[in-house]
Structure 1
Amino acid sequence: MKIKYILSVIAIVAFTQNSFAQYSQDAIRFSQTTTGSTSRIKAVGNAGTAVGGDLSNISGNPAGLGFFTRSEFSITPEYDASRSKSTYFGQAGTASRNSGNLNHAGLVIYNQLTKPAGADKNKGWLSVNYGVAFSRVSDFNQNIRYKGSNSTNSINSYFASQANDFGIDEGSLAGWAYDQQLIDTYTSGYGANNVGPTTQEAIINRTGGQSGIDFSIGGNYSNKLYLGLGLSFTDINYNSYGTFYEDGTLSVLEGPAPGTPTDRNFSSAYSQNQITKGTGFSARLGVIYKPTEAVRLGAVFTSPTFYNIDDIYYEGLSSKVGSNAQNDNESDDYRLNYNLRTPLKIAGGAAVFIKHFGFITGDVEYVDYSSAHLGSNPDYDADYRDNGEIKSLYKSAINAHIGAEARLTSFFLLRGGYGIQGDARKENGSDIKTTSGGIGLRFGSYYIDATYAHSTGRQNIFPYDIGSTSPSAALRNSNNNGYLTLGYRF
């Protein structure tokens, strides 16, 4: 198992105030986005590459805007219930979080092109339509909690490894641990003062998401070929607050020098907090072709997103040993501004329409997460560690979606779908699988679409890194999402 990859309780690990933090995990976190879409497209597994004529095309395949023959507006709020089940040294735990967001809102303006008198109105460029949308492309809201008895090692072993690597300078994490008697000097270097097993518990709270403003244009050529171009301006808002608690027994030196080893109960809390904000932009080029009236073939190329990111990280360590007073230390803010280039994406799909009865659609998307790249600057050497870890620890992935819509009556539609988001990690994770279903109601120019989606995935997280003996918690994550789209055609 490649323990070098640490999906830590927060996202980065600060070694000392004057060293660097680990940003490779953030690079992948901010690269794993989904296409913002309406409830209708969510219900069919988010397989919208070849469908066309849906406001999701503003944020997805802009060629689909060419199918509109009227202007249209919709808004899609979302309710998300996330749950994380953990197993840590055989002990089970659960944490949950509920949140509500605006998932998508879009407007398309239909612009029919004029034809000379006597010209065939079904040949040539028939319309060029414009769209603007807000879309939420990732959700970071999650609570995680795990607890267990560790008889193998302690987080104090991690503090000792930092002391051996970087020293115990004043204000450093290792220096705090030394001053608080969690570690001490031994013949072979710094080591943990632990005696026997420890009880460990981690509590992590994450909030935020990624959202974008999308501008798209799509044209219809002879009702056969549809071309589109889109631009997206994306924001990152990620907050993570976590504390790792440990209780056990230490052997500390007491009395006149050199001191007498004495066993004392101890409790400690190591906190890591991260606030990350950023802005970026990307472009999309899409096409949909109709070889027959019933078949649509679509493809979309999405450029890398180029981000400028501001990151703030701070940490703290507090402990109480025996009857001594509690010791508390907290760092200054570690601030860094850096650039991130996410991977490009290529997607292709097909949709088959069965007259007015509905359609079946599917698509696949390719993403090479190992191509994500962090930019170096005078304050940060991204090539020293992080870019190398991106290439060695992450891989390419396939995202696949399939779904169908059935028109049961003139005003009632039924939908279902299934999607797989491929895992970016070579180890310690799994694909995210989503099952979805929904209904649609049509009332003249107005419509309502409702969708339920259930997603599941697994991952292992490591609270601290001490090599091959690093402990890990196995997480089984699930999300239950509800979407409601209210739309109007005019």
Structure 2
Amino acid sequence: MKRYLLFAACLVSTGIMQAQQTLNTAENAVRYTTDNLTGTARFRGMSGAMGAVGGDLSAMTINPAGAAIFNYNSGTASLSSYNVNNKSNYFGNTEKENYNNFDLNQIGAIFVFNNNNEAATVRKFTLGFNYENNNSFYNRSFSRGVNTRNSIDQYFLRYANGVGNEGAISLNTLNNAYFENLSYNDQQAYLGYNAYAFNPGTDPNGPAYVSNIPQTGNYYQENYTATSGFNGKVAFNFAAQLKERLYLGINLNAHFTDYIENTTFYEDPNNTSGAGMQEIQFDNQRYTYGGGFSFNLGAIYKFTEAFRAGIAYESPTWMTLRNEVSQRIASYCPECDQNSTASNFVFDPATVFVYDRYTIKNPAKWTASAAYVFGKSGLLSVDYTLKDYSNTEYKSHGYGTINDQLSSTLDLASTIRVGAEYRIKQLSLRAGYRYEESPYKTSRTIGDLNGATGGIGYSFGISRLDLAYSWYQRSYQSQMLPTAFPDSARIKSTNNNITLSYTIDL
């Protein structure tokens, strides 16, 4: 049975702080700062370019003033199908992995309170709520190839010989300590030692530990990564129409995230001797969960009956998160244990380690919008968003080095979304395009995103059925091991999503 050990309550030490810093990299922080195109089918069909359009529950999450454009009480629920196709390149070898998932990604309602006094300043106000899955973490990728530079031994030796100035772990600790009593860094060394990835060094002037894996320079490696979970948000909205042309709104947002990552790294060191290390497999599971808070402010102004513009601000999001980690290692290493004839070694602590909570502050976002409405025939709209990702930071103590990395590698990034809708009686046709810059100064870690959407809707009078298709593509760098391993695969990810929404007006 798995044992849950609450490190924060049991151990308050430098080792625990270092463990959190090792687990919580700059890339982990960026995961919770990026959103995806989600929401209702109408919103998706127009690539989310609805900041000045309003009258849609997902549009009000971009600009909360858009809720005041509703004329009737309304509710919408949306179901989405996600398809992810990943093409991986690792040392020239290409692999493909395909994954599908379904999700109830949006549900919400708006309540409209009209003022019959035409001379009143406040013509109407609205109260509403909307839940959206801002980002789905469901994904699969598989990479394999022959690494001509590094073996998995580099991962374990980094911890065994000491990270930074902490010094090498003692041989007595490796032989006699209990795994659950060690810091995260020392646990990594302990795992490698029990799988015979390294041995004590014999040169008094050399490193404390040396590799036990044959230095062939040709290491066949595989890495399989499976992730699941979501980054969700519930927006509580208040909006009002002032006189004929001005709309104002505010959202109070509750954020919550649930992320599970399972990785399996396998290596065949190309050892043909029949003795020594032949195979090694390292399994990791990370579970991150928590919640946070943010708010939105927005305004929309109708310059004419046809042309309108909007401005919206979303505050930084303060996310308080917690990590749970479990690991397992296995190897096939004939004649590695001089005290037995065993060749297969498995070390599975069967322990889930629960670490201290920590806080990430995600950057604020500004969105400017404009729309032109062609009477009852259709509309054209555009949204432009700016977000300075370099303001992402860990607010907990001891993350100075990682925060410096975030501020130096991340950049101000813009997003542009263009959408159109054309109506033929009860039928609506929609299309859109979006482009998102990489949050990094260089696009090696995460590339720019290009996407296109289309959709159709049909009104039954008091209800409406909408269908949308969205496509987008982005490349990113996938780390082969959690940390401390220099090589990574390049993933080209193509996403095809279908959303069906049902809206009813009361």
Q: 2:435 aligns with which of 414, 417, 420?
A: 420
1:325 Cα deviation from its structure 2 partner: 3.0
> Aligned pair 1:348/2:348, yes or no?
no
Q: 1:472 aligns with which of 488, 502, 505?
A: 488
Deviations 1:292-313 (A, max 9, x none): 1111101110011112112112
| Distance verdict in 2 for CA 1:241–1:294, change over 3 Å | same
Alignment of 1:318-333 (within 5 A): 318-322=330-334, 324-330=342-348, 332=351, 333=353
- Aligned residue pair count: 456
Unaligned runs of 5+ in 2: 1-13, 180-186, 336-341
Q: 1:44 aligns with which of 39, 43, 46?
A: 46
In structure 2, how many angstroms separate the alpha carbons of the residues matched to 1:437 and 1:416? 4
| Distance verdict in 2 for CA 1:425–1:272, change over 3 Å | farther
1:410 Cα deviation from its structure 2 partner: 0.8
| Distance verdict in 2 for CA 1:180–1:132, change over 3 Å | closer
Alignment of 1:42-441 (within 5 A): 42-115=44-117, 121=118, 124-166=121-163, 167-168=168-169, 169-170=173-174, 171=179, 172-184=187-199, 185=201, 187=203, 188-189=206-207, 190-192=209-211, 193-196=213-216, 197-249=218-270, 263-322=275-334, 324-330=342-348, 332=351, 333-377=353-397, 381-383=398-400, 385-407=401-423, 409-427=424-442, 428=444, 429-441=446-458
Q: What RMSD over aligned residues (CA atoms) do the two structures have, in Å?
A: 2.2
Q: Assess if the C-alpha contact under 8 Å between 2:231 and 2:256 holds in 1.
A: yes
Q: What is the SS of the residue equivalent to 1:457? A: strand
Query: Aligned partner of 2:467: which letter?
Result: A
Deviations 1:192-235 (A, max 9, x none): 23231121000110000111211101111122100001111111
Q: TM-score scaled by structure 1?
A: 0.88
Q: Assess if the C-alpha contact under 8 Å between 1:157 and 1:191 holds in 2.
A: no
| Distance verdict in 2 for CA 1:471–1:454, change over 3 Å | same
In structure 2, how many angstroms separate the alpha carbons of the residues matched to 1:297 and 1:233? 27
In structure 2, how many angstroms separate the alpha carbons of the residues matched to 1:367 and 1:463? 29
1:113 Cα deviation from its structure 2 partner: 1.6
Q: Assess if the C-alpha contact under 8 Å between 1:161 and 1:466 holds in 2.
A: no
Q: TM-score scaled by structure 2?
A: 0.85
In structure 2, how many angstroms separate the alpha carbons of the residues matched to 1:180 and 1:212? 43
In structure 2, how many angstroms separate the alpha carbons of the residues matched to 1:436 and 1:18? 45
1:334 Cα deviation from its structure 2 partner: 4.7
In structure 1, how many angstroms separate the alpha carbons of the residues matched to 2:119 and 2:210? 79
Single out whichever of 469-478 and 342-351 deviates more from structure 2.
469-478
Deviations 1:243-270 (A, max 9, x none): 1000124699xxxxxxxxx853511111
Deviations 1:304-346 (A, max 9, x none): 1112112112222221112633222245415121112111111
Q: Assess if the C-alpha contact under 8 Å between 2:262 and 2:284 holds in 1.
A: yes
Query: Aligned partner of 1:181: which letter?
Result: Y
Q: Assess if the C-alpha contact under 8 Å between 2:129 and 2:237 holds in 1.
A: yes
In structure 2, how many angstroms separate the alpha carbons of the residues matched to 1:266 and 1:426? 41
Unaligned runs of 5+ in 1: 1-14, 116-120, 253-261
Query: Aligned partner of 2:234: which letter?
Result: I
Query: Aligned partner of 1:437: which letter?
Result: G
1:150 Cα deviation from its structure 2 partner: 1.6
Query: Aligned partner of 1:459: which letter?
Result: Y
1:438 Cα deviation from its structure 2 partner: 0.4
Deviations 1:35-86 (A, max 9, x none): 6531111111111111111222342211011111111111111110111110
Which residue pairs with 1:463 in the alignment?
A: 480
Q: Assess if the C-alpha contact under 8 Å between 2:277 and 2:331 holds in 1.
A: no
Q: What is the SS of the residue equivalent to 1:31? A: coil
In structure 2, how many angstroms separate the alpha carbons of the residues matched to 1:55 and 1:265? 58
Query: Aligned partner of 1:308: which letter?
Result: T
Q: Assess if the C-alpha contact under 8 Å between 1:58 and 1:106 holds in 2.
A: no
Q: Assess if the C-alpha contact under 8 Å between 1:438 and 1:451 holds in 2.
A: yes
Q: What is the SS of the residue equivalent to 2:278? A: strand
1:462 Cα deviation from its structure 2 partner: 3.0
1:17 Cα deviation from its structure 2 partner: 6.9
In structure 1, how many angstroms separate the alpha carbons of the residues matched to 2:412 and 2:222? 34
Q: What is the SS of the residue equivalent to 1:162? A: helix
Q: What is the SS of the residue equivalent to 1:470? A: coil
Query: Aligned partner of 1:217: which letter?
Result: F
Query: Aligned partner of 2:387: which letter?
Result: V
| Distance verdict in 2 for CA 1:50–1:186, change over 3 Å | farther
Q: Assess if the C-alpha contact under 8 Å between 2:453 and 2:471 holds in 1.
A: yes
In structure 2, how many angstroms separate the alpha carbons of the residues matched to 1:81 and 1:164? 43
